[in-house]
């Protein structure tokens, strides 16, 4: 119940987060549109080739920012066909953004080599002032957008923020080109346009690379796996981590683990896994789903107690009042076999109260690790709880014979026991 409440609260927070991010993306779309218009007007006003090329770049920003908005708007929708959500739409949008960046870079390169520019020197000072103010607005917005992207882990929003950052870096070169053109050095404007194209192309490659890694289900970062491993190993019941995998999907992650747990009952195993999942969710809010598979440990050798009667000739269907117990040392590797055996009389066979519990305590002192139960149903639950409390595993083998057990002695991993709840009268094996 605690985990369900935590997940419900997480979903509410994610919904609010998505609403905020979509507003940020919409604001970025409007800003890029205004920047594109002003850059184009200023480029025509001054005759700057670099400024007109950058205006074209900003028009592609409008499309990419709008794509980011649409990606965030629809990414979290889950359907029967897409039960894990459409989180990767954000990465697809980021990849689409990189395509627009490449196209803009190619167009700027074309203008740098083949375009004509005649900068009007007297119009440069006004343009520099206006362009500088625009740059300041762009820088403040990109810092805010990147901060929101880092908080949420949104790749598409981060890509858009980086895209705006390239505009800011390119602005410096464009301003140099404007000043050079004002002094009659017109090739500086072409060089500025060329530099802008190369810079934009480099950022586009980085964005495309990150998007493709997620779309192709690349693994999570080693640092994340290391932290998750530490969380799992902090639980002493975890014997081994057999596998740990994870992948990103949009700004979220999916993690799957396979662990070996040393517990006696299915309830204990479920409770342990629930605690581990809660710890991982608390440490990584960006993780959408954790799936943990568990299994009991494998033992090479263990001591099995078998209740018997008729001086060890027959398996007894009773536990506490069984006349004697066989203690078999079973070796499971390389092949299952009974290595040694000894027959001990039950010292508590004539006890009236707490007989089963006392027998369990006696077997625990003898070093017994498992007890064979030959009945399909067990009406008395007390000794089962006592077995589990002492770390002794009940092995259910209905109507078992000693001859059959000797030929094929039971070896781990054993099925975990499902404990009976109040109102139930039997304890069964969980298959």
Confidence (pLDDT) at 429: 34
Tokens of 115: 């375009």
- Spell out the residues 6+ positions from residue 329 whose beta carbon is closer than 8 angstroms to its own: 301, 302, 303, 304, 338, 339, 340, 341
The C-alpha atoms of residue 344 and residue 304 are separated, in whole angstroms, by 13
Alpha helices in 153-254 (DSSP H): 155-182, 187-215, 222-233
User: pLDDT band at 390, cuts 50/70/90?
Assistant: confident
Residue scoring higher pLDDT (391 or 380): 391
Q: Are 360 and 390 in contact (CB under 8 A)?
A: yes
* Domain at 222-295: CATH code: 3.30.70.1350
Total Cβ atoms within 10 A of residue 315: 21
Q: Which sequence spans correspond to the domains of the chain? A: 2-215, 222-295, 301-429
Would you identify the CATH topology of the domain 2-215?
A: Alpha-lytic protease prodomain-like (1.20.1510)
Among 75-79, 190-194, 226-230, 246-250, the range scoring the smallest mean pLDDT is: 75-79
pLDDT band at 276; cut points 50, 70, 90: very high
Q: How far apart are CA 265 and CA 429, in angstroms?
A: 10
Q: How far apart are CA 149 and CA 161, in angstroms?
A: 8
- CA 118 remoteness from chain centre: 55
* Structure confidence at residue 4 (pLDDT): 45
CATH of 301-429, one of 3.20.20.70, 1.20.58.340, 3.30.420.130, 1.10.240.10: 3.30.420.130
Kindly report the pTM of this predicted structure. Answer: 0.50
User: Would you state the pLDDT for residue 299?
Assistant: 67
Query: Is it the case that residue 428 has pLDDT exceeding 60?
Result: no
Average predicted confidence (pLDDT) for the chain? 75
Query: Please, what's the largest Cα pairwise distance for the chain?
Result: 116
Q: What is the pLDDT of residue 163?
A: 66
């Amino acid at each position: 119940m605690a985990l369900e409440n935590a997940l419900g609260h997480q979903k509410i927070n994610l919904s609010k987060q998505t609403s905020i991010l979509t507003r940020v993306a919409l604001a970025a779309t409007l800003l890029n549109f205004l920047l594109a218009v002003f850059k184009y007007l200023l480029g025509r006003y001054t005759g700057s080739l670099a400024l007109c090329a950058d205006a074209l770049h900003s028009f592609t920003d409008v499309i990419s920012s709008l794509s980011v908005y649409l990606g965030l708007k629809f990414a979290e929708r889950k359907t029967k066909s897409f039960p894990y959500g459409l989180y990767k739409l954000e990465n697809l949008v980021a990849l689409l953004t990189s395509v627009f960046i490449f196209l803009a870079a190619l167009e700027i390169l074309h203008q740098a080599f083949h375009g004509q520019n005649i900068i009007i020197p007297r119009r440069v000072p006004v343009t520099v002032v206006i362009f500088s103010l625009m740059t300041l607005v762009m820088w403040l917005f990109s810092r805010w957008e990147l901060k929101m992207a880092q908080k949420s882990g949104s790749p598409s929003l981060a890509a858009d923020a980086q895209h705006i950052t390239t505009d800011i870096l390119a602005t410096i070169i464009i301003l140099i080109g404007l000043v050079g053109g004002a002094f009659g050095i017109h090739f500086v404007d072409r060089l500025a346009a060329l530099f802008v194209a190369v810079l934009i192309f480099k950022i586009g490659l980085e964005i495309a690379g990150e998007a493709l890694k997620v779309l192709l289900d690349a693994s999570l970062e080693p640092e994340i796996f290391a932290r998750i491993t530490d969380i799992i190993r902090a639980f002493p019941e975890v014997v081994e981590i057999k596998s740990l995998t994870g992948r990103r999907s949009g700004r979220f992650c999916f993690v799957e683990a396979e662990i070996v747990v040393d517990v006696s009952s299915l309830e204990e195993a479920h409770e342990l896994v629930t605690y581990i999942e809660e710890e991982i969710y608390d440490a990584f809010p960006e993780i959408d789903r954790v799936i943990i598979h568990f299994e009991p440990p494998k033992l090479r050798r263990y001591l099995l107690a078998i209740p018997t009667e008729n001086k060890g000739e027959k398996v007894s269907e009773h536990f506490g009042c069984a006349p004697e117990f066989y203690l078999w040392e079973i070796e499971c590797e390389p092949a299952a076999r009974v290595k040694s055996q000894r027959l001990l009389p039950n010292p508590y066979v004539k006890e009236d109260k707490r007989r089963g519990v006392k027998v369990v305590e006696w077997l625990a002192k003898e070093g017994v690790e498992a007890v064979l139960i030959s009945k399909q149903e067990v009406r008395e639950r007390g000794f089962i709880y006592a077995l589990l409390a002492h770390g002794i595993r009940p092995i259910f083998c209905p109507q078992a014979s000693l001859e059959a057990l000797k030929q094929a002695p039971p070896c781990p991993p054993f099925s975990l026991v499902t404990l009976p709840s109040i109102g139930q009268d039997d304890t069964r094996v969980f298959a």
